[in-house]
Amino acid sequence: AQSVTQLGSHVSVSEGALVLLRCNYSSSVPPYLFWYVQYPNQGLQLLLKYTTGATLVKGINGFEAEFKKSETSFHLTKPSAHMSDAAEYFCAVSEGTGFQKLVFGTGTRLLVSP
């Protein structure tokens, strides 16, 4: 069975600092990997995804993630945090046909201080 581990339920950064949210996965098949963001009272929004091809994936709002098969990781980064980045971030791996059934990590709350 596939699984996702997100290290750190909370990550605090200062505005302008580097954001690094960690995600490790386990999968017996080539995975599709996703990062979602959830703002209060809103549905999950897709930040970026890795399917095939280039291992460095760029998403919305300046975020990017790199698929490292040897490390089974898909860490999310952003060079400079903005106050508006404060939210809950979920890493997920696809399961099943159609790549629509997702297995999620426990989420990481990003806190950004002025």
- Residue ranges that bind other proteins, judged by CB under 8 A: 4, 9, 32, 34, 36, 41-45, 49, 51, 90, 94, 98-107
Tokens matching residue 10:
């909370």
Taking the least distance from each CB to other proteins, the nearer of 64 and 88 is 88
Q: How far is the CB of 10 from other proteins (least distance, A)?
A: 11
Q: How far is the CB of 95 from other proteins (least distance, A)?
A: 8
The CA-CA-CA angle for residues 96, 51, 72, to 5°, reads: 85
Q: How far is the CB of 17 from other proteins (least distance, A)?
A: 25
Three-state SS at 97:
helix
Q: Residue 78, Cβ neighbours under 10 Å: how many? A: 21
Q: Is the dihedral of CA 23, 39, 80, 46 positive or negative?
A: positive
Taking the least distance from each CB to other proteins, the nearer of 54 and 70 is 54
Q: Please give the single-letter amino acid code of residue 86.
A: A
Taking the least distance from each CB to other proteins, the nearer of 51 and 113 is 51
- 23, 108 contact by CB (below 8 A): no
Taking the least distance from each CB to other proteins, the nearer of 32 and 73 is 32
